Amino acid sequence: MAFNVFFFSDESMHNVYVSGGEHDFIGQLAQMIYSTIISQILQIFINYLTMTDISYYQIKELKKDNNINKTKTLSIMKCIKNKIIVFYSFTFILFLFFWYLISAFCSVYKNTQRIFITDSITSFIMGLLYPFIIYLIPSGLRFISLKSKQNKNLKILYSLSDKIPFF
């Protein structure tokens, strides 16, 4: 919702005024796509802060080797602790800022609240649907490359399907 606020410009407000408060879905589609892309990029950063599985496997590997190096384990635990502290601090500050931004926007522009909520719901739905599209392409390429046994040149499709889902 917060990124949709950023894309409500003077021109889009003027278009709402000229249209008599009617929602121009096609005109707002680009703004909804931009807000979805930016929120997904932010989500990748936040996911990076919460991913501690590599550190967990490093600790597990140290215990498996019966070479329990306490300083190495403590440094890994400290790294996990720092990532979690940064995650919660960053998320809390970001949510406070977004709460204030959305509250101020909705209180100032009362006539655009319906359009704002419609755009936000549409952006949310697009954010839920785009992973299906992104992961449908590599699975289709992988299916085609595995189904065709006579052509060895389709190994390129298989390796390409392995590179596409980078999110």
Q: Buried b / exposed e across 41-68, counting CB within 10 Å, b at 16+? A: eeeeeeeebeebeebeeeeeebeeeeee
Asked whether residue 138 is assigned to any structural domain, the reply reads: no
Report the predicted TM-score, pTM, of the whole model to 2 decimal places.
0.64
Whether pLDDT at 153 is above 70 = no
Asked whether residue 148 is assigned to any structural domain, the reply reads: no
Q: What is the mean pLDDT of the chain?
A: 79
Give the pLDDT confidence score for residue 165 in this predicted structure. 61
Asked whether residue 42 is assigned to any structural domain, the reply reads: yes
Asked whether residue 165 is assigned to any structural domain, the reply reads: no
Asked whether residue 100 is assigned to any structural domain, the reply reads: yes
Q: Kindly indicate the confidence band of residue 100, based on its pLDDT and cuts at 50, 70 and 90.
A: very high
User: Pick from 107, 111, 88: which is nearest to 99 by CA?
Assistant: 107
Q: Does 66 or 142 have the greater pLDDT score?
A: 142
Asked whether residue 149 is assigned to any structural domain, the reply reads: no
CA distance 19 to 16: 5
CA atoms 64, 67, 72, 77: torsion sign? positive
* Residue 120 · residue 6 · CB < 8 Å: no
Total structural domains in the chain?
Answer: 1
Express as a percent the part of the chain with pLDDT over 70.
89
Whether pLDDT at 167 is above 50 = no
Q: Kindly indicate the confidence band of residue 51, based on its pLDDT and cuts at 50, 70 and 90.
A: confident
Q: Does 135 or 21 have the greater pLDDT score?
A: 135
Asked whether residue 103 is assigned to any structural domain, the reply reads: yes
Asked whether residue 17 is assigned to any structural domain, the reply reads: yes
Give the pLDDT confidence score for residue 43 in this predicted structure. 81
Domain that holds residue 35: 2-130
CA distance 28 to 167: 26
Whether pLDDT at 82 is above 80 = yes
